[in-house]
A and B are shown apart, each in its own frame.
Chain A
Amino acid sequence: MSSAASSASPSARTRVVVTGMGVTSPLGGDVDSTWSALLAGKSGVRRLTYDWVEMTPIHIGAPVAVEPADLLTRPEMNRLDRTGQLAMIAARQAWAQAGFSPTREEDPLVDKDKLGVAIASGIGGVITLINAYDTLNQRGSRRVLPLTVPMLMPNGPAAAVSLEFGARAGVHTPVSACASGAEAISLGLDMIRLGRAEVVICGGTEAAIHQLPVAGFAAMHALSERNDEPERASRPYDTERDGFVIGEGAGIVVLESAQHAAARGATVLAELAGSGISSDAYHVAAPDPDGAGAARAVRAALADAGMTTDQVAHINAHATSTPAGDMAEVAALRAGLGSGVEQIPVSATKSMTGHLLGAAGALEAVLTIQALRTQTAPPTINLDHPEPELSIDVVRDQPRPLDPNRPYGLNNSFGFGGHNITLAFRRAS
C-alpha cells in the first residue's frame, strides 16, 4: 500500500451514512415514541413487579415499554433470549426504514455478501443461562433445551439478525460492558471503510433486569437505591445522585457507504463521520477521575471526523448518575474539547431511559441522530441540585433548539474495563 493511501485524509475515505434506525426502550416501542417521551421529560423508570424483587435491595428499573411477546411469534419468543428478542424488534424497524426487503432472500438493493452485522451485548443471554441452570438443578439435564447455548451466547442476537436478513459479510459481537453498543457501531463504520461491507446492521441489546446482575451491581453500590421515587432515581450531575438505574432495550442503526445509499436513492438520516476509541488502563470498574482516557476518545473522534469543537452542536453524554462517573466525564469533555465546551448543549438522556448497559451507546446514537435531525437537544430531568463543579451546559428540564451553524453531534459511551468510545455524527445535508 502506498503511503498516500495509508495516510488518506478523512475526506478522501469512504463516507458512511445512517439510513435506518430502530429502538425498543423503556420509553417506547420505536424511535418516534421514545423520542416524544424524551422531549416531554418522561421517566421510563418504575417500581419492578417481578417476584424476585424482594431478594435484592433494588426495587426499581426501566423495563421496555412494549413487551416483545406483543410483537414476536411464539416460536420467535421460544428460540431467542430476551436480548435476541429486543434486537430483532429494533433491527426490523431499522431495516424497514432503510427500505430493504424484509427477508433473507436476495435483494436487488443490497448484495448480501456485502451485508454485515455487528450487534453487541454487555452481558449476553443471562436470563436464559440462569433459567437453564434452574431447570438443570430442579428437573435434570434431559430438560435443558437444545437451543440453550445458541440463546445464551452473547453473539446470539447478532446471529439471529444475520439469519433474518441473510447477512453474509460477517457477524460480530464486540463486548465492552456499557460501551458495547457504541463499539458495535464503530465496528460497522470500520467494516464499511475497509471495504468488507457496503451495509451493516449494527447496535446493541441488553436484557439483564434479573436478580443476579441486579444483586451484583447492587453489591458494587452502582445502583440507585431510591426505591420510593423511581422517576427521580436517575439524576445525572445532581448532588443527590446515588447510582444508575438498570434498564433494558435495544438500539439498531443501518450503516451504509454514502455511495451505496446514493446509488439506490436512500434517505440519509445522518452521517457517521467518525469514531474515537481509547482505554483507561486505570481500574476495572472505576473511571479515571481526570477523565484522561475518555478525553482521548473524544479527541480521536474529532480527528477521525476532521472536525473542531466549534462545530459540535450537541453532546449526548454517557452520564449514568453514578457519583464517580458523571464528573469524570465532565473533566473528559473539558479536556477533550477544550475551550468552547461551555457553548455546547449536553443531554443526559439516561435520566429518563435508565441505563441500558450494552444497548445504551446504540440507543443514544439514535437519540443523537434524532437531535440533529430535529435540531433539538432533549432535556435532562432530575437535575435539581447541580454539582458546583458542573462546568458544562447541561440542558435541563425543557428541550432546547440546536445551533443550526454547527453540524455535528457527539455521543459518549464508557464501560467497566476502561472502555471509552465517542461517536461523531453529522447532520444530513
Chain B
Amino acid sequence: MASTEEEVLAGLAEIINEETGVPVADVQMDKSFTDDLDIDSLAMMTVVVNAEERFSVKIPDDDVKSLRTVGDAVRYIRKVQDEQ
C-alpha cells in the first residue's frame, strides 16, 4: 500500500538518524543528502538498503544517483509504490 509523503519522510528521517546521527528534524524535503546532511556514498547505500526494506520497494543503483535531495527520494519511493 502506498505511503503518504509525511510517512515516507518520517521513515527516511528515522533511518538516516539511526545510520548517521543526523537529527530527525533536520531531514527535510529540500535538504541535499551530500551537501546538507553530509551523507557519503556508503552511508547512502545503507540508507537505501534500509529504505527498500521498510517501504517494500526496489531502488536500482543507477536511480540512486539521481536522488539528490530528501524530496527526490520521497517522491521516488511514492512513485514506485504507486506503480506496484
Contacts and interface: CB of A to CB of B under 8 A. Distances in A.
Contacts of A145: 46, 49
Contacts of B45: 146
Given A145-B46, A146-B45, A147-B42, A75 B21 contact: yes
A210 interface: no
Tell me if B's interface is mostly helix, strand, loop or mixed: helix
A75 B52 contact: no
A143 B49 CA distance: 6
B82 interface: no
B21 A74 contact: yes
A143 B42 CA distance: 14
Contact of B19 (A78, A142, A150): A78
Contact of B17 (A74, A142, A146): A74
B20 interface: yes
Interface residues of B, number: 11
Interface string B6-19: 00000000000111
B46 A142 contact: no
Interface in B41-60: 42, 45-46, 49, 52-53
A73 interface: yes
A179 B42 CA distance: 34
Contact of A142 (B20, B21, B42, B49): B49
Nearest to A76: B21
Contacts of B46: 78, 145-147
Given A146-B42, A147-B42, A73 B21 contact: yes
Nearest to B59: A142
A73 B52 CA distance: 24
A78 B19 CA distance: 6
A79 B19 CA distance: 8
A146 B49 contact: yes
Interface string A73-85: 1110011000000
Interface string B25-45: 000000000000000001001
Nearest to B45: A146
Interface string A256-268: 0000000000000
A75 B18 contact: yes
Contacts of A142: 49, 52
B49 A74 contact: no
Interface string B60-79: 00000000000000000000
B24 to A, nearest CB: 12
A74 B20 CA distance: 8
B26 to A, nearest CB: 14
Nearest to B44: A146
B20 A75 contact: yes
A146 B52 CA distance: 14
B18 A78 contact: yes
Contacts of B49: 142-143, 145-146
26 contacts: A73-B21, A74-B17, A74-B18, A74-B21, A75-B17, A75-B18, A75-B19, A75-B20, A75-B21, A78-B18, A78-B19, A78-B46, A79-B19, A142-B49, A142-B52, A143-B49, A143-B53, A145-B46, A145-B49, A146-B42, A146-B45, A146-B46, A146-B49, A147-B42, A147-B46, A150-B42
Given A78-B46, A143-B53, A145-B46, 4 more contacts: A73-B21, A75-B19, A75-B21, A147-B46
5 closest residue pairs by CB, A with B: A146-B45, A75-B21, A146-B42, A74-B18, A146-B46
